[in-house]
Amino acid sequence: MGKIIRAGVSFQEELLKSFDEIVRELNLGSRSRGIQEAMRTFISLNAWRLPGNQELVGAILVHYSHEERGLDEELIDVQHEFLDIIPSMMHIHLSEDSCLQIIVIRGKASKVRELIKRLREVGKLKQLSHLLIPTC
């Protein structure tokens, strides 16, 4: 672990009260620990956007309607273009017409950005979200 640096941060009163309540509920022990966890989450959610080629792992969730003809095939075609960074995928039937794909990824940030872009280009998706974590 690296050197500890102290930093002052200002908060709106209600935001800090809500934060303190969650820190207590999760039994984190201190605001500092809660802020560190929040920062790690913020970095994980946004690291893929940074320039460079950092190694990432994570999952992409694709929610879509099974009723959209050809959409399944288009999503699979895109995934086949990225087999080098997709070690696994799970398909879940949420209802008669609603599906969720969980695409596991491991690879360079630039390639992950391209995969997310290509999946969005398929269109007709209800939602696409992801959790990506730098491996170092």
What CATH code is carried by the domain that includes residue 78? 3.30.70.1150
> Does the residue 2 lie in any domain?
no
Q: What total of structural domains would you count in the chain?
A: 2
Residue 34: name the closest of 48, 47, 21 by CA: 21
Region of residue 23 (phi > 0: left; psi between -120 and 50: alpha; otherwise: beta):
alpha
Region of residue 123 (phi > 0: left; psi between -120 and 50: alpha; otherwise: beta):
left
Spell out the alpha helix ranges (H) of the chain. 13-25, 31-46, 71-80, 109-122
Radius of gyration of the chain (CA): 19
Same domain, 28 and 63: no
> Does the residue 80 lie in any domain?
yes
Residue 69 sits in which domain range?
Answer: 52-134
**What value does the mean pLDDT of the chain take?**
91
Same domain, 66 and 122: yes
Question: Which pTM value belongs to this model?
Answer: 0.75
For residue 50, what are its two tokens?
């940074």
Q: What is the DSSP letter of 49?
A: G
User: What whole-number distance in Å separates Cα of residue 113 and Cα of residue 102?
Assistant: 16
Residues 28-73 pLDDT 10s: 999 999 999 999 888 877 777 777 788 999 999 999 998 998 999 9
